[in-house]
Amino acid sequence: MRFLITAGPTREPIDAVRYISNFSSGKMGYALAKEAVRRGHSVILISGPLSLTLSRKGRGNNPIIHQIETAREMKKAVLKYIPQADCLIMAAAVSDYRPAHTLKGKMKKSHKEISLKLVRNPDILKEIGAKTRNKILVGFALETKNLLKYARAKVREKRLDYIVANPASVIGRDSSDAMVLDKHGRIIKQFRQTSKAAIANFIVRLMERKNG
């Protein structure tokens, strides 16, 4: 199979030295890429700014790693590579908002309060789900409360085949609690304090079965 996987955070610049981001470690996306390579698949990994490394050992082709910074750069990369893919797994934590204006230089400190105007970033997976057919689409939901409710709403709204629901407490950890839901919102697998490598193994095998 040909896997397109996204991983890590995005960074939205405020000025030449500051940015908006999140605490995503990228470990889940990289675990997925490693497992897909290990099982002999072709992998394109679109990665946010991370220092993680990807093992190239496996029966398949070496992965293509495309590094990005912003949500708009990630959208451009996903649109570029998705025609080549059998499935898209959006494990990245894409910033929902970006500054309306970015200063070219460094913002100088003053004694006054400042306000930062934010605008919405594109919803990459929703746009892909609305117009893409014959691709397996997998999203991730990360919430601090009402996790199952929001995951079920997201899998329908974005027309996904599957969604992986995680509590926010898993960010940065090597193990995770997770629920995998199908497109009808049914829980097909539940994990308790399971390594992200083991979760990745289940997801990649699920993609293989779905692909036939």
Are 174 and 196 spatial neighbours (Cβ–Cβ below 8 Å)? yes
Which DSSP symbol is given to 123? -
Q: Nearest to residue 205, comparing CAs of 175, 153, 162? A: 162
Phi then psi dihedrals of residue 157, to 5 deg: -60, -40
Are 28 and 200 spatial neighbours (Cβ–Cβ below 8 Å)? yes
Cα–Cα distance, 44 to 24 (Å, whole number)? 19
Cα–Cα distance, 94 to 12 (Å, whole number)? 10
| Tokens 């934010």, residue located | 118
Q: Positive or negative CA dihedral for 70, 129, 152, 87?
A: negative
Residue 166 appears among annotated catalytic residues: no
Catalytic residue among 22, 61, 134, 146: 22
Which DSSP symbol is given to 24? -
Cα–Cα distance, 164 to 28 (Å, whole number)? 11
The catalytic site residues sit at 22
